[in-house]
Structure 1
Amino acid sequence: MGLCLAVACAPTLKASPGGNLSSVGSDTMHQVMQLWGDEFKRHFPQVNFQLQSSGSSTAPVALIEGTAALGHMSRAMRQSELQQFEQRFGYPPTAIPVAIDLLAVYVHPDNPLTHISLAQLDAVFSINRRCGGTGDIQQWGQLGLTGRWQQRYINLFSRNSVSGTYGFFKQHVLCNGDIKPRTNQLAGSSAMLRAISQSVTGIGYSGIGYATSGVKVLALAANGEDAVAPTLDNALSGRYPLARQLYIYVNLEPGKRLAANEQAFLTLVLSAKGQQLVQADGFLPLPVELIQHWQQQLGLASELALP
């Protein structure tokens, strides 16, 4: 009898996985992809799983060039990326949601600030203030802090432009405005949070899964709304304004089925075990209805029956 990754057993794969399986893409998703990869290799040791996570912008290139079968991205593909893919293959890539992330705003633990609005964030980070900021914000006193904090300048930290997290922040917080030139741009989420933990006047953003004791998470307010914390309840209720889906993109020709390696990996990701690993890494699992939709769409079993 096979070992199943959910409550009831399901049919086995139509073909056995083997050879190589590579994924290229998001730094934000590196840890959860590693967890999925380790679980996958535990059951399919004959597959050489390779993972590269330099930023979401590297995923479309890898899929187009055929250097990766999976492209993990913390944002949806841009129109230009979709067009390049379609020009190459004649059909669009398939974007499979695999988890939910909350983009959180971080400051140093000694910072007395507890919350911030989207408009204030726009004024802090952008030179254009397209999202409603009324004036440039450069000092903590402009956010309501007093005493020795009032005249302190805000030290800005951001992901670099290849990052899907940067793209999401630029679109949803800056309304595609330009980030201030003095912003410190870092290649990885861990590096950003480490920098904020070492900068008492620092502020930055990253997925909630990267929160550590060395930083403080701010409650966030949509314009005109009360500030809410980045929690599961606030995400599912729609109250937290910076919730996003995380994706794995594949090159799936219409009318065809996934290759055995991809089929097995995505079955694991969308299984009960796969979604438990999502939570273990600090992300939020997908709603059951969405999982079932994609299992049906891709012809996947509800769980993976393993030999």
Structure 2
Amino acid sequence: MTDSPNRSVSRRSFLTSAGAVGALALAGCTEGPGSGTDNGLSGSIRISGSSTVYPVAQAVTEQFRSQNPGVEFNLSRDGSGGGFSNLFCEGNSDFNNASREISSDEEEQCSSNDIEYHEINVATDALTVIVNNDFASEYPGVTDMSIDQVRQIWRADGATTWQDVNGDWPDEAINRFGAADTSGTFDYFREAVLGEDANHTSDYSPTEQDNTILQGVQQGRYAIGYFGFSYYQDNQDAVTAVTLQAEDGDSYVEPTLENAKSGDYPLARPLFTYPKVSSLSQDHIAEFARYFVRQSANDSLIADQVGYVPKTEEGMQSELDALNEAISNA
């Protein structure tokens, strides 16, 4: 999604869901820039949702709390969909992070519970496909794949061995590690790679934990996986990233921040957080939301520390203007 005004909406219907989630309480976080400054804010903030957006939220909450020690955070990795259905749309979190836009079913669930939200685009990711290092060394061609080949690997009725994808690759079973179906990364991958006519294979190891994907691919010689660029950037020696070709005749493009920013990388995607509008009536939550938006243009934090593409100053200001309007209406 390009830099654009946000939405504060609520629609009507029904959807029910339940489930338990794990949480990380950030009551004593590492000190960051501006530590020691107390702005007099106090209260708690519950943030649920995407594991992909989690590193951004974690960095921002740590910095905010160093300046506002009276504010405590409960931040968890539930998946975009798990966070929406089990927590946010049930009224049990103040923000839900998401690696894709809120779905129509989630909008209806929120509306049925009188939950109004505001959408904020906080960064851009380069969804990264990874393979095992030893496999890449033995078969260098596996590090260059077309989107069609990736589709063959991950569709329900697709390839079962690497040789099915390319006759020069080994006759070995494909060992897959990917996002669980409660994840926004799963939803985005299914839409961007598989398309409307194909289902995601069930023959894989699903998880909400990106480290589990990393370890699975690292330990399985004929393994493949996908997750957010941030996790690859932090573990570039552990696995090998695949360069991707969007269409026949196109160049193969590496997953980098520069290629995601330019739009050349085929799997560049926007990342979001969704504050609950009623929560924005509380000063500490409104100020944190503003801080989150301002940090979205912080190159040092978003690009250097976390590993995503930050907002432009102009894009950040547009988000901030829309947020302030939502706060004034809270």
Q: What is the letter of the counterpart of residue 196 of structure 1?
A: V
Structure 1: state its 5+ residue gaps.
Answer: 7-14, 129-135, 301-307
SS at structure 2 position matched to 1:236:
helix
Structure 1 runs of 4+ aligned residues shifted over 4 Å read none
Counterpart CA distance in 2 for 1:19 and 1:96 is 22
Per-residue deviation, 1:178:
1.7
Structure 2: state its 5+ residue gaps.
Answer: 1-32, 326-330
Which range moved further: 290-299 or 181-190? 181-190
Q: 1:145 to 1:268 in 2, by over 3 A?
A: farther
Q: 1:298 to 1:273 in 2, by over 3 A?
A: closer
Per-residue deviation, 1:284:
1.3
Structure 1 vs Structure 2: percent identity of aligned residues? 27
CA contact (8 A) 2:50 2:183 kept: yes
Counterpart CA distance in 2 for 1:193 and 1:181 is 19
User: In structure 1, what is the equivalent of residue 73 of structure 2?
Assistant: 49
Of 129, 148, 163, the match for 1:141: 163
Counterpart CA distance in 1 for 2:133 and 2:147 is 21
Which range moved further: 175-184 or 211-220? 175-184
Counterpart CA distance in 2 for 1:64 and 1:169 is 23
User: In structure 1, what is the equivalent of residue 144 of structure 2?
Assistant: 115
CA contact (8 A) 1:16 1:260 kept: no
SS at structure 2 position matched to 1:75:
coil
User: In structure 1, what is the equivalent of residue 203 of structure 2?
Assistant: 182
Which range moved further: 101-110 or 222-231? 222-231
SS at structure 1 position matched to 2:119:
strand
Per-residue deviation, 1:257:
5.8
Higher RCO structure, 1 or 2 (CA under 8 Å, sep 6+): 1
Counterpart CA distance in 2 for 1:54 and 1:86 is 21
Per-residue deviation, 1:43:
0.6
User: In structure 2, what is the equivalent of residue 264 of structure 1?
Assistant: 287
User: In structure 1, what is the equivalent of residue 104 of structure 2?
Assistant: 79
Matched, 1:30 2:51: no
Matched, 1:249 2:274: yes
Counterpart CA distance in 2 for 1:93 and 1:49 is 19
SS at structure 1 position matched to 2:127:
strand
CA contact (8 A) 1:36 1:274 kept: no
Q: What does residue range 53-132 of structure 1 map to in structure 2 within 5 Å?
A: 53-61=77-85, 62-89=87-114, 92-110=116-134, 111=136, 112=140, 113-128=142-157
Per-residue deviation, 1:239:
1.3
Counterpart CA distance in 1 for 2:251 and 2:147 is 11
User: In structure 2, what is the equivalent of residue 133 of structure 1?
Assistant: none
Counterpart CA distance in 1 for 2:315 and 2:116 is 20
Aligned-pair Cα RMSD in Å: 2.4
SS at structure 1 position matched to 2:319:
helix
Q: What does residue range 138-217 of structure 1 map to in structure 2 within 5 Å?
A: 138-144=160-166, 146=168, 149-176=169-196, 177-211=198-232, 212=235, 213-217=237-241
Counterpart CA distance in 2 for 1:204 and 1:178 is 17
SS at structure 2 position matched to 1:182:
coil
CA contact (8 A) 2:77 2:208 kept: no
CA contact (8 A) 1:257 1:298 kept: no
Of 211, 219, 243, the match for 2:243: 219
CA contact (8 A) 2:296 2:310 kept: no
User: In structure 1, what is the equivalent of residue 12 of structure 2?
Assistant: none
User: In structure 1, what is the equivalent of residue 4 of structure 2?
Assistant: none
SS at structure 1 position matched to 2:176:
strand
Counterpart CA distance in 2 for 1:77 and 1:117 is 28
Per-residue deviation, 1:288:
2.2
Matched, 1:294 2:319: yes
Q: 1:292 to 1:68 in 2, by over 3 A?
A: same
User: In structure 2, what is the equivalent of residue 237 of structure 1?
Assistant: 262
Q: What is the letter of the counterpart of residue 123 of structure 1?
A: Q
Per-residue deviation, 1:65:
2.4
Q: Deviations 1:12-61 (Å, cap 9, x if unpaired)?
A: xxx95311111011112222211111111101101111111121113323
Counterpart CA distance in 2 for 1:251 and 1:34 is 19
Greater percentage in helix: 2
CA contact (8 A) 1:268 1:274 kept: no
Q: What is the letter of the counterpart of residue 31 of structure 1?
A: P
Counterpart CA distance in 2 for 1:274 and 1:159 is 28
CA contact (8 A) 1:82 1:93 kept: no
